[in-house]
Amino acid sequence: MDKQIPNKLFFKIGEVCEITDTQPYVLRYWESEFAAPAPAKNSSGQRIYRRRDIETVLRIKQLLYEEGFTIAGAKKRLEAEMSGRTTPQHTPGGSATPTPAPNASTPTPPGVRGDGDPAGRAVMAEVREQLREMLTLLNRDDKKL
């Protein structure tokens, strides 16, 4: 995700795939699942992406592949971020960063090995996702009051 987005107004799907390191079918699937990205189509029916669409694709990719969200969880998080309820954490370089991993002083829950056990990581990823979804619901309820 360190690849720079060129300074142009519109991008074809092949360019977006190269910038985001994804396949065209993945982009088309994400378009069907998420409200954004929503590329326009030109007169010949080709998808035309804007910089904002590419940034959204990169954020979706980060949520799914780096932070371990499911499609449903990523959809909720992205909707919350776009509506201003939550914002991604940013580094000085401007890229969003995932929640920091626990350090050595953080206790490991009983039954979960802290040595990189794949089963333990899967359990922790599921717990993390459920907590994020609860936080999203709580934030949504706070806005209604």
pLDDT tens sequence across 49-96: 999 999 999 999 999 999 999 999 999 999 998 888 665 554 333 444
For 71, residues 6+ apart whose C-beta sits below 8 A from its C-beta are 33, 64
Read off the pLDDT band of 13 (50, 70, 90): very high
The DSSP symbol for 106 reads: S
Q: Does this model's pTM top 0.85?
A: no
pLDDT tens sequence across 100-114: 344 434 454 555 444
Average pLDDT, the chain: 77
Distance between CA atoms of residues 51 and 108, nearest Å: 41
Contact 143, 93 (CB under 8 A): no
Give φ, ψ of 29 to 5 degrees. -65, -45
What is the distance of C-alpha 129 from the center of its chain?
12
